[in-house]
Amino acid sequence: MRLFIAFDIPDAIKEVVWELEKGLSKLTDRVRFTPKENMHLTVKFMGEQPDFALIKIKELLSSEVNKHACFKIRFDKAGVFKDIQHPNVLWLGEENPEFERIAATLNKELEIFRRPDNKPFCHLTIGRVKYIKADDLLEAIKFCRDFLKNNELSFMVDTLYLYESKLFKSGAVYRKIEKFHLKGV
């Protein structure tokens, strides 16, 4: 099964991001936007895992996640991955030491199942970018940054989820397998 570990986004924040996506859709048709039901903050992508690994992954998450305290996330940046010349993901994010600590812990503890990710970055994927002109991309990023200046997107995270991801032609479908509370919940 294809797995990932993520924090949920509160519904109120999803609604605001959805409004951002609607505004962006008027600027460009070169971004496939993330549906509200799929919005999350990935901490660790696990990829395909055999069924027998699921028990051990759950045990490791159960023993490690509650060592980390609840924390606040506030999106204050917008940009693209890979880079401006080769964009494939449009995101909102922030530098967040608490997010980075928990991601580093899970990278270390779960490396027997999946190689460690590069430096983790707290971000929400707004959409996937396809063949966009540089001027249109820069306009979309500016639109996102202006939106963030006028809309505070902040929330507390207190629960981490293990998800299963199934890919279909119509898009990905996510199913929560189990939840793990951070310290203080």
DSSP output for 18-77:
HHHHHHHHTT-SSEEEPPGGG-EEEEEEEEE--HHHHHHHHHHHHHHGGGSB-EEEEE-E
Residue 86 is a catalytic residue: no
Q: Among 45, 89, 70, 76, which Cα is nearest to 147's?
A: 76
Residue 123 is a catalytic residue: yes
Q: How far are the Cα atoms of 8, 84, 159 from residue 183, in angstroms, in the given order?
A: 17, 38, 9
Choose the catalytic residue: 40, 68, 86, 181: 40
Q: What phi, psi does 110 have (nearest 5°)?
A: -105, 10
Choose the catalytic residue: 68, 86, 123, 181: 123
Total Cβ atoms within 10 A of residue 131: 6
Please give the torsion angle defined by the CA atoms of residues 70, 121, 9 and 67, in that order, rounded to the nearest 10 degrees. -20
Alpha-carbon span 124 to 40, nearest angstrom:
6
**Active-site annotation, residues:** 40, 123
